[in-house]
Amino acid sequence: MSSITYENSGVDANKADQIIDSFSEFLKSRPRDPRLLSGIGPYASCFSLKETLSTFKDPLLVSCCDGVGTKAKLALDWNQIDRLGEDLVAMNVNDLLCVGATPLVFLDYYACGKLEKTQLLTLLKSIQIGCEMADCSLSGGETAEMPGLYLDRDFDLAGFSVGLVDRKDVLGESKVQPGNCLIGIESSGLHSNGYSLVRKLVDKEKLSPNKAPHFSKETWAEILLKPTFIYTKFLKNHLSQLTGLAHITGGGITGNLPRILPRGSEARVKTAAIFFPELFQWIKEAAGLSQEQMFETFNCGIGMVAACHPDYVDTLLISLKENGLKAQVIGTVEKASQVSPRNSNLDEPQVVWQ
């Protein structure tokens, strides 16, 4: 009777080690943060805070986790996963920015049915590049081969990021005030949200990844798989002058903007000020969605909304423009003027479209 080994059960631990060894070779050619004291191998990584903490009076540790959702499935179906790592990093570090923190370290979690060297190496390399774009260090991760739970080449991807912020600098409802201006900063596309709906449109419209739509010279793959924009380098020097930042993810503008507002206030947003690129117009028409449904589901061209005092608006807009980012005032924060349609509660923050 033959024995049942871990390998003939579908898990090849040696293969995982070989892939990680290959990734370690890749890392030798990339920039390294001297504060990251551990390489790949230990049970957990060590990161020195000695110099970093000297600039803080009352440091708060900020942590978050997120994934890329079913965008990973479309990228896999179209055999174009080479920039998913940027998406993964962006979805996390952009959230850290929203409380005024800048990222220090990032960790990834990759789970699959069967390890494929090219697939995993491609993802890890793109995660490292994303970390470099976000000015943080890839400090570790986990690779899990789980046959029976994931089929064929399917995989899932999640990330975790940790940063620091001084207590006095925490952004959000404690700082945002009526009278603040709201600045919409462009997205790079769909980012990593709404793909369960988008994938149905891909099937319905029989879209080919290598063909271009009528509204663009880029192919469908280039448009729909464009990585989420990483805002760290463009906003970190402005954090001290901002009162709030809203990362526009699942739930769209309508669902995310109220998360930074104090009770008893509302965001009055001009519909005409939302960029609404042609991609989103195509989705609206192809899916038969109302404008309200679009604002509740997608970023509609606005990947981040910054709240600040009116005196700082021009400084921020000029800086973003100089760095190649499109941005404009999309509205203001005001005292609540009407009962929230969702909660029938005057104190519950909401977006009022104008």
CATH number at residue 233: 3.90.650.10
Do 163 and 186 fall into the same domain? no
Give the residue numbers spanning the domain of 256: 181-353
Do 97 and 229 fall into the same domain? no
* Residue 251 belongs to a domain: yes
Do 232 and 332 fall into the same domain? yes
Residue 26's pLDDT is 84
Do 154 and 251 fall into the same domain? no
One-letter-per-residue 3-state SS of the chain:
CCCCCCCCCCCCHHHHHHHHHHHHHHHCCCCCCCCECCCCCCCCCCECCHHHHCCCCCEEEEEEEEECCCHHHHHHHCCCCCCHHHHHHHHHHHHHHCCCCEEEEEEEEEEECCCCHHHHHHHHHHHHHHHHHCCCEEEEEEEEECECCECCCCEEEEEEEEEEEEHHHCCCCCCCCCCCEEEEEECCCCCCCCHHHHHHHHHHHCCCCCCCCCCCCCCHHHHHCCCCCCCHHHHHHHHHHEEEEEECCCCHHHHHHHHHCCCCEEEEECHHHCCCCHHHHHHHHHHCCCHHHHHHHCCCCEEEEEEECHHHHHHHHHHHHHCCCCEEEEEEEEECCCCCCCCCCCCCCEEEEC
* Residue 2 belongs to a domain: no
Instruction: Give percent above pLDDT 90 in the chain.
Output: 81
Residue 254's pLDDT is 96
pLDDT tens for 132-186 read: 999 999 999 999 999 989 888 899 999 999 999 999 999 999 999 999 999 999 9
Residue 30's pLDDT is 87
Q: How many domains does the chain have?
A: 2
Please return the burial class of 296, using the count of CB atoms within 10 Å of its CB with bins 0-12, 13-18 and 19+: middle
* Residue 220 belongs to a domain: yes
Question: Any idea what the CATH number is for the domain that residue 85 is in?
Answer: 3.30.1330.10
CB-based contact 101:240 (threshold 8 Å): no
Residue 213's pLDDT is 95
Residue after which a domain boundary falls, among 140, 169, 198: 169
pLDDT tens for 186-221 read: 999 999 999 999 999 999 999 999 999 999 999 999
CA distance 85 to 67: 10
Do 143 and 234 fall into the same domain? no
Residue 176's pLDDT is 97
Q: At what angle do helices 117-133 and 84-97 cross, to 10 degrees?
A: 30
* Residue 176 belongs to a domain: no
Do 18 and 155 fall into the same domain? yes
Do 59 and 162 fall into the same domain? yes
Residue after which a domain boundary falls, among 136, 169, 202: 169
Do 258 and 138 fall into the same domain? no
Residue 1's pLDDT is 56
* Residue 216 belongs to a domain: yes
Distances (CA, A) of 48 to 53, 89, 112: 9, 21, 32
Residue after which a domain boundary falls, among 123, 142, 169: 169
* Residue 6 belongs to a domain: no
* Residue 1 belongs to a domain: no
| pTM for the full predicted model | 0.92
Regions of the chain where pLDDT drops below 50 = none
Do 158 and 186 fall into the same domain? no
* Residue 175 belongs to a domain: no
Residue 164's pLDDT is 97
Query: Rg of the Cα trace of the chain?
Result: 22
Residue 6's pLDDT is 66
Type of residue found at 20: I
Do 125 and 222 fall into the same domain? no
Residue 110's pLDDT is 96
Residue 187's pLDDT is 98
Do 104 and 241 fall into the same domain? no
Residue 19's pLDDT is 82
CB-based contact 289:297 (threshold 8 Å): yes
Do 153 and 239 fall into the same domain? no
CB-based contact 86:126 (threshold 8 Å): yes
